[in-house]
Chain A
Amino acid sequence: MSTTTVDDHHDEHPGFFKRWITTTNHKDIGTLYLLFSLLMFFVGGAMAMVIRAELYVPGLQWVEPGFFNSMTTMHALIMIFGAVMPAFTGLANWLIPMMVGGCDMALPRLNNWSFWILPFAFTMLLSTLFMPGGGPAGGWTLYPPLVLQTGNAFPFVIFSIHLMGISSIMGSINVVATILNMRAPGMTLLKMPLFVWTWLITAYLLIATMPVLAGAVTMLLTDKYFATSFFSAAGGGDPVMFQHIFWFFGHPEVYILILPAFGIVSHIIPTFARKPLFGYSSMVYATASIAFLSFIVWAHHMFTVGMPLVGELFFMFSTMLIAVPTGVKVFNWIATMWRGSMTFETPMLFAVGFVIMFTLGGFSGLMLAIAPADFQYHDTYFVVAHFHYVLVPGAVFAIMAAAYFWLPKWTGHMYNETLGKTHFWLSTLFVNLTFFPMHFVGLAGMPRRIPDYSLQFTEFNTMASIGSFGFGLTQLLFAFIVIQTIRGGKKATDQVWEGAEGLEWTLPSPPPAHTFDVPPVIK
């Protein structure tokens, strides 16, 4: 668009339909993604509440075992594809153009489409719960032959996964095109803010792995309905091969869920430590190394399938190698805080909480990487504790940190600091009460995805259930704070935070619909 018409746009007042349904504005699409993610966070959270209510005491009290299994399956699918990934895409939409000094995303119409696919995908996925035979109940990993026993829901689950995949691939192509082509003059690759860097790498991971998942689920579909035998031993196939294909997608996927979080934390810690990020280029290279390594470690999810010793050793050592670049990042964050003039506003609390609790999840990951030990931990609550530590006080805390950090920029209002801090401390208390005891029951042998358990696990499970109810209720406070901030509050300044640096903080709060129509000059 030509720069002479810029002022006309600022006076536009599109109606509701044009503003939200047919919008091509990166800020509005970002908002849609974030609100959708918040909604899915509560839907997936409600399913977690069903799981924890059933596990409060041993025995079967609230739900049928089949429904319990579809709760665990749907909880995972919704939290991964509906809550965490759209939240990161929403942040990417809002922030990447403002951070690189571009006027919008590179492909605005595609952007609208990749968002609006999601409500349809998740409506379809959720509708499977009401179908004959119930929703998918074989776990989010969809292992055959178990998953092939799903009833009428099966093709709907597969197609909703296809839609989610199409949405993320289009979103990622958009992110790559934006970062590579829309940067302001002078914004060289190694001057880009870390959130942009981590998203660039995440986008490539998505483009490379989501199609593999699409292929794997398509094979499941043809195995069930079109007499192929990819995973059926009777026809010369092999169910273990599904696990290889799935985890070839699945392991990079877990880094898709955490790399943007690394980017977010790398913005927040320097701001509130009032020091530049320690080791910027090592952060970039560490992110790239993690992304590369993520492609060669997948079989550590399947140590117990009967791999030869050489395979076990290869996947064990390559997995442990990932601790090196991850350690570089953790030490860089700590070094950034070292002797900084630190203050602890809510975003910083969440970021510091992230560093500590994510590292804890990383340590249990290292324990799981040890092949001989993994034979004991495999498919127990220890695994559940591990990945919830990296995903809840890891990815989810980082998303909340980002929400508190940039909400004043987006809305022009400061959130209520007291409520924000209350939200952080209650969340931290309850998240640990929920997931820490799971380490113990896991080490003692409690298997995952089972609606009942032996008596000796009762106390720890009751603790975990109480923690999860507390955590769930606390998140209502988060929704309240967000809505309150959108509706009003103390005016935010343009820079918002004293130590904030970056192009987005040079814009007014809230930014007008169109920003950087004239690219800024980067020194």
Chain B
Amino acid sequence: MSDKKTTTVLRSSFIALAMFGFGYLMVPIYDVFCDLTGLNGSTEIVSTKQDVDFAPDLTRTVKVQFVANLNNSMNWTFQPDTFEMEVHPGQRIVTNYTAINHRPDAVIGQAIPSVMPSVASRHFHKVECFCFTNQTFDAKEERQMPVVFVVDPALPDKVEVITLSYTFFDVTETASTTPFNLEVPAGG
């Protein structure tokens, strides 16, 4: 094989290998892109409670709606205690979701949050949330789980309604092998 031909083959093979790597590289790129833009409803990570100490803007109200979903036909009941509320931006709000495990055995669940519209997701700060960690439910257990959040006063004026949605996934099988760290509050 001539040198020139070898060079062509090596170059082409390198492109193929690099593109295989690029396929995997798209995974972190996708995450970074969504974090930067707040697309996909990824919610803001809150570091400390001081970060969300805003002066409540009493002149403005925003409607916040709560949605609950179950994945994998989990035999649970899962719903918000309050379906919607009017809040002032900057105000610290506490609300609850209730879940019941109807199964005769223990189940580990993981809730995944999503905020719509996506422009609001960066201005919706969760201070405390059951979605920060796995939730282990004993057989037939019923539990109330709190969410503490603040809507940033910097929320664009055009947003009048924010929808916070949670989907519960059954992670009993994988919870032990893949510790879940969706939103780890960074120290600070």
Residues of A within 8 A of B180 (CB): 235-236
Known: A181-B5, A215-B20, A308-B118. A233 touches B112 (CB 8 A): yes
Q: Are A173 and B26 interface neighbours, CB within 8 A?
A: no
The answer, among A180, A181, A229, A307, for a CB contact under 8 Å with B178, is: A229
Q: Are A245 and B2 interface neighbours, CB within 8 A?
A: no
The answer, among A208, A214, A230, A232, for a CB contact under 8 Å with B15, is: A208
Q: Are A234 and B20 interface neighbours, CB within 8 A?
A: no
| Chain A, residue nearest B170 (CB) | A234
Q: Are B19 and A211 interface neighbours, CB within 8 A?
A: yes
B83 at the interface (CB under 8 A from A): no
Q: Are B171 and A177 interface neighbours, CB within 8 A?
A: no
Known: A177-B8, A177-B9, A181-B4. A207 touches B20 (CB 8 A): no
Counting contact residues on chain A (CB < 8 A from B), the size range is 35 or more
Q: Are B167 and A214 interface neighbours, CB within 8 A?
A: no
Q: Are A211 and B16 interface neighbours, CB within 8 A?
A: yes
A455 at the interface (CB under 8 A from B): no
Known: A207-B16, A210-B16. A234 touches B171 (CB 8 A): yes
B58 at the interface (CB under 8 A from A): no
Among B20, B170, B174, B177, the most chain A Cβ lie within 10 Å of the Cβ of: B20
Q: Are A234 and B110 interface neighbours, CB within 8 A?
A: yes
- Mark contacts of B35-56 with chain A using CB atoms, 8 A cut-off: 1 yes-contact digit, 0 otherwise: 0010110000000000000000
- Mark contacts of A199-215 with chain B using CB atoms, 8 A cut-off: 1 yes-contact digit, 0 otherwise: 00000100111111111
Q: Are A248 and B26 interface neighbours, CB within 8 A?
A: yes
Q: Are A207 and B19 interface neighbours, CB within 8 A?
A: yes
Q: When chains A and B are docked, how far (Å) is the Cα of A485 from the Cα of B24? A: 49
The minimal Cβ–Cβ distance linking B113 to chain A, given in whole angstroms, is 10
Q: When chains A and B are docked, how far (Å) is the Cα of A176 from the Cα of B6? A: 12
- Secondary structure at chain A's binding surface: helix, strand, loop or mixed? helix
A401 at the interface (CB under 8 A from B): no
Q: When chains A and B are docked, how far (Å) is the Cα of A230 from the Cα of B37? A: 20
Q: Are A233 and B167 interface neighbours, CB within 8 A?
A: yes
Residues of B within 8 A of A107 (CB): 1, 5, 9
A169 at the interface (CB under 8 A from B): yes
The minimal Cβ–Cβ distance linking B142 to chain A, given in whole angstroms, is 22
The answer, among A177, A235, A248, for a CB contact under 8 Å with B174, is: A235
Q: When chains A and B are docked, how far (Å) is the Cα of A91 from the Cα of B71? A: 49
Q: When chains A and B are docked, how far (Å) is the Cα of A422 from the Cα of B142? A: 73
B23 at the interface (CB under 8 A from A): yes
Q: Are B178 and A211 interface neighbours, CB within 8 A?
A: no
Residues of A within 8 A of B9 (CB): 106-107, 173, 177
Q: When chains A and B are docked, how far (Å) is the Cα of A334 from the Cα of B181? A: 60
The minimal Cβ–Cβ distance linking A196 to chain B, given in whole angstroms, is 15
- Which A residues, 230 to 252, have Cβ-Cβ distances below 8 Å to chain B? 230, 232-236, 238, 240-241, 244-245, 248
Q: Are B8 and A180 interface neighbours, CB within 8 A?
A: yes
Residues of B within 8 A of A215 (CB): 20-24
B169 at the interface (CB under 8 A from A): yes
| Chain A, residue nearest B174 (CB) | A227
Residues of A within 8 A of B30 (CB): 238, 241, 244
The answer, among A177, A219, A232, A236, for a CB contact under 8 Å with B182, is: A236
B186 at the interface (CB under 8 A from A): no
- Mark contacts of A302-345 with chain B using CB atoms, 8 A cut-off: 1 yes-contact digit, 0 otherwise: 00001110000000000000000000000000000000000000
Residues of B within 8 A of A173 (CB): 9, 12-13, 16
| Chain A, residue nearest B25 (CB) | A215
A-B contact pairs, 15 of them (CB 8 A): A172-B12, A177-B5, A180-B8, A181-B2, A181-B4, A211-B17, A212-B23, A215-B21, A216-B23, A234-B174, A238-B34, A240-B40, A244-B30, A245-B23, A308-B37
* Chain B interface residues toward A at CB < 8 A: 1-2, 4-5, 8-9, 12-13, 15-17, 19-24, 26-27, 30, 34, 37, 39-40, 71, 110, 112, 118, 167, 169-171, 174, 177-178, 180-182
Known: A181-B2, A230-B27. 10 other contacts (CB 8 A): A107-B9, A177-B5, A207-B19, A211-B16, A212-B19, A219-B24, A233-B112, A234-B171, A236-B182, A238-B30
